[in-house]
Amino acid sequence: MLDRTRHRDIIAALCFGLIVMGAHLLWRMDGELRFLLLFVIMIPAAMGIGLARTAPGTAIALVWVSSLLQVATLTELGPLQLAGPYVAYVTARYGTKTSIVAGGISIGLGALLGTAYLGVLIGEVNPLNGSLSQLARSMFYVAVLATPLVTPWAIGMILRFAAQKETAEQDRREAWHDAQQARELAQLRAENAGLARDVHDIVGHSLAVIIAQADSIQFTDDADAGRIREATANIATTARRSLMSIQNVLSRTNDTTGDLSAHEVRVAELIDSIQGVGRRLERDDRGTARHVPPDVAKVAYGVLREMLTNALRHATPESTIRLSRAWTYRTYTVTVENEFNPQVDTREGGRGLPGMRERLATVGGTLYVEVSPTDQRPARFTISAVLPLESDTHHRWETR
């Protein structure tokens, strides 16, 4: 871009030189000395035009040098004066703030100098004369001479401000576009994280049930073919259900209607899967079951599945898993309690608790975990999730 504008100024400088010297050759054929003098005066002005964009301050100084040489040699007014408007415009349009101020000051001083010089050339204007008529005439000439300089300078400033406004608008559009992309990327990452949690929970629960069923076969009498067939059937059913759930998650077609009966059916399936492996599970529902918003129902089911999976993994074999659910006007609370052996169960290295907290945070829910003193035998692990039932779940509670 810089090279292109520099070429424009160089071309303008060459054209300026041709115009000045050509006009002199056509209309002022008054000797080689005069031609040489005009060439010397023209050189700094042409250099100023060539440097107007890349070095505006130097360009203004060169135009002043040319103008002072013109005044000192009493060279007549003519095409040499084209350098001033060109440099004034380019300086205002592309120059720095300092060069813009210098250009504005130069316009005023140049108009005064031009008025005084015009008075010397035509012998009619004398700014030093105290006559009101002469003073008024001087002001008139100042205005006339300033107009060819002020006009391009003002046009340059207008175009400069318009370009700055367009640039600012473009920057705002780009910033908005970048913000949109960042939001879309964050949403995509959140969706991927949610997908990973769903798959983790489904696979983890299914594998825990399958492992428990497979382990039970080892302790079944070989003659008890009915018990063995029942266990293998439960394994197959659990695997199919897991596969279907994963397919639903990947296609995002899993039930999120929030229908109370549909939610209760899915909860009953979870309970059956636990009881199907021979684990004792006590269920306690308190309050009147109420409609659960779709997003809350989805989170509640996922959290309950993870709770029961953890209980299946960590509860002592002979203990009873206790599931309690409670409805109030504003909340739906799910609690799972199980006994565990602290000497063989440290509950480290999993994503269960962080995953549940992340799920609950999406609907403004809260997770509570309580572990009884490990010096007691057996130790007790209690985990509760409190979810809001209001239709507006945009308000987020702090997840503990």
Confidence category of residue 347, pLDDT binned at 50, 70, 90: low
- Note the pLDDT of residue 396: 41
215 has pLDDT over 60: yes
- Over range 274-303, report the average pLDDT: 85
In angstroms, how far is CA 129 from the centroid of its own chain? 67
Q: Which domains does the chain have, with CATH numbers?
A: 2-177 (no CATH), 259-400 (3.30.565.10)
Q: Are strands 366-371 and 379-388 parallel, antiparallel or unpaired?
A: antiparallel
* Main-chain dihedrals φ then ψ at residue 372, nearest 5 degrees: -70, 160
pLDDT tens for residues 89-137? 888 888 888 888 888 888 878 777 777 766 665 655 444 454 545 555 6
| pTM of this structure | 0.45
Confidence category of residue 236, pLDDT binned at 50, 70, 90: confident
Point out the least confidently predicted range of 27-31, 145-149, 335-339: 27-31
State the DSSP string of 213-260.
HHHHHHTS-TT-HHHHHHHHHHHHHHHHHHHHHHHHHHHT-S--S--H
